[in-house]
Amino acid sequence: MSTLSTSLITHSEALFEKAQSLIPGGVNSPVRAFRSVGGTPVFISKAQGAYIWDEDGNRYIDYVGSWGPMILGHAHPRVVHRIQDLAERGTSYGAPTALECELAELVTQAVPSMEMVRFVSSGTEAVMSALRLARAYTGKNKIIKFTGCYHGHCDDLLVKAGSGASTLGVPDSPGISQAVASQTLLATYNDLESVKVLFEQYPSEIAAVIVEPIAGNMGCVPPVPGFLEGLRLLTKQHEALLIFDEVITGFRVAYGGAQALYNVMPDITTLGKIVGGGLPVGAYGASQEIMKMVAPVGPMYQAGTLSGNPLAMGAGIETLKLLQESHVYQQLEAQTKCLVEGLEAVAQSKQIPVQLHRVGSLFTLFFAAHPIQNYEDVLKANKTRFNRFFHQMLKKGIYLAPSAFESGFVSLAHTPNDIEATLETFSNVDFEDQE
């Protein structure tokens, strides 16, 4: 694959300079600013299938996929047609629609633990509502989360660990009060003992444990055998709820999400990304007993003007229908396996130590010799080496997440030729001046 034109960042630089005077940091979500890897973010003008194009007309093979939603590839004809058709009827009603019922039925049929679902407008909103629901249902206040698992920017979960797993959370962002953060307890992902310690310390105060069943926001870090099962047992023993944040994994690692893949049923599930077909959407759901706590049936209030937006519902319906086709997950599995095994072979040929994680079409390459099981392990990976890898891949037309600690996504639109081109590009990355 040839190097992109020398005008690669000309328009992006100009746009980024303008954006920084209008938008904080020049972006509407922090990771897009390239602060982690350095350089100027690429401004995207269009996307189709497995490819995106920047403002200079350069094409990239895309492994970000809008951070996960584009499992079918960008601008799938059936999804686009459905959105266009619905947009001609109006873009928002603020009233019930048959589309909400249709998507709700598809979701509850697919996700084992969800008997009822409420649609919202983002994954953050879904998680925020799920936490409120857990507290309302249990009458307790404290939440256990895992260091390195990101669940959106709601106040309760933007906290970091103190000196140990049993330390109360402290705010990880100005604007979050200590009172709110103190209700969140930090545990270590893949470490059941750290969770047991918290339940022993607060035996009657914990409303829920929230976890990414497959961590995706510190890179793809799968659960070790027995971890999810152990969480299920501990929460039942202590009359707390188990919340699976499947915003990334829902319909990505299996049609029924990680809970179907591992056969561990949470009490509450949050969804996003794929369930809206690439449009802004979130969802949370549970058994009828738990969901009947939600207004207007129950006392727990949650509302939203754009919840159940008809365009998002239609895009989600078409996406899930396409994902029901028999070949889909076999194809995603095969293509991603080919990519990951190829990346590993290239790294070995270069004598570059890596850890490659994959679950279904979710993957991450860590530049590390040590096993990766939690956030502490992730932080020890070679970030400098990743940054060099990232920029050389980008220069040759491979678009990866601009952070050493994010996941990659393969779509149904990626072809064997795309995989081959990616591996060829990696084989030409220069690591000579790296430690």
List 61's β-bridge partners, or say none.
51, 398
Distances (CA, A) of 207 to 60, 145, 283, 297, 421: 45, 11, 20, 21, 49
Which of the following is catalytic: 54, 62, 245, 418?
A: 245
Q: Is the pLDDT of residue 435 over 70?
A: no
Active site residue 196: no
Q: What is the pLDDT of residues 306-352, one digit of tens each?
A: 999 999 999 999 999 999 998 999 999 999 999 999 999 999 999 99
Averaged pLDDT for residues 188-211: 97
- Which pLDDT value is given to residue 58? 94
Q: What is the pLDDT of residues 386-412, one digit of tens each?
A: 999 999 999 999 999 999 999 999 999
Domain ranges in the chain are 10-75+326-427, 77-323
- Which pLDDT value is given to residue 4? 56
- Which pLDDT value is given to residue 318? 98
Q: Confirm if 134 and 268 have CB atoms less than 8 A apart.
A: yes
- Percent of the chain at pLDDT exceeding 90: 86
Active site residue 85: no
User: How sure is the predictor about 178, in pLDDT bands with cuts at 50, 70 and 90?
Assistant: confident
Higher pLDDT, 70 or 13: 70
| Tokens 């795309």, residue located | 418
Q: Confirm if 198 and 144 have CB atoms less than 8 A apart.
A: yes
Task: Specify the pTM.
Answer: 0.94
Q: 162 in helix, strand or coil?
A: coil
- Which pLDDT value is given to residue 374? 97
Q: Confirm if 306 and 70 have CB atoms less than 8 A apart.
A: no
Q: What is the pLDDT of residues 229-241, one digit of tens each?
A: 999 999 999 999 9
| Average pLDDT of every residue of the chain | 93
Q: Is the pLDDT of residue 271 over 80?
A: yes
| CATH of 77-323 given 3.40.50.300, 1.20.120.1630, 3.40.640.10, 3.40.190.10 | 3.40.640.10
Q: What is the pLDDT of residues 133-171, one digit of tens each?
A: 999 999 999 999 999 999 988 877 777 532 233 334 456
Distances (CA, A) of 330 to 51, 122, 294: 22, 29, 38
How would you class 297 by CB atoms within 10 Å of its CB: exposed for 0-12, middle for 13-18, buried for 19 or more? exposed
Q: Is the pLDDT of residue 2 over 80?
A: no
Q: Confirm if 232 and 242 have CB atoms less than 8 A apart.
A: yes
Question: Distance (Å, rounded) from C-alpha 278 to C-alpha 319?
Answer: 9
- Which pLDDT value is given to residue 172? 65
User: How sure is the predictor about 197, in pLDDT bands with cuts at 50, 70 and 90?
Assistant: very high
| Tokens 């809008």, residue located | 66
How would you class 216 by CB atoms within 10 Å of its CB: exposed for 0-12, middle for 13-18, buried for 19 or more? buried
DSSP state of 200: H
Which of the following is catalytic: 63, 150, 262, 399?
A: 150
Provide the sign of the torsion angle of the four alpha carbons 84, 89, 90, 91, taken in this order: negative
The superfamily in CATH containing domain 10-75+326-427 is: Aspartate Aminotransferase, domain 1 (3.90.1150.10)
Active site residue 172: no
Which of the following is catalytic: 262, 273, 396, 399?
A: 273
φ/ψ (deg, to 5) at 372:
-115, 115
Question: Distance (Å, rounded) from C-alpha 315 to C-alpha 83?
Answer: 6
- Where is average pLDDT lowest: 164-178, 185-199, 402-416? 164-178
Q: Is the pLDDT of residue 294 over 90?
A: yes
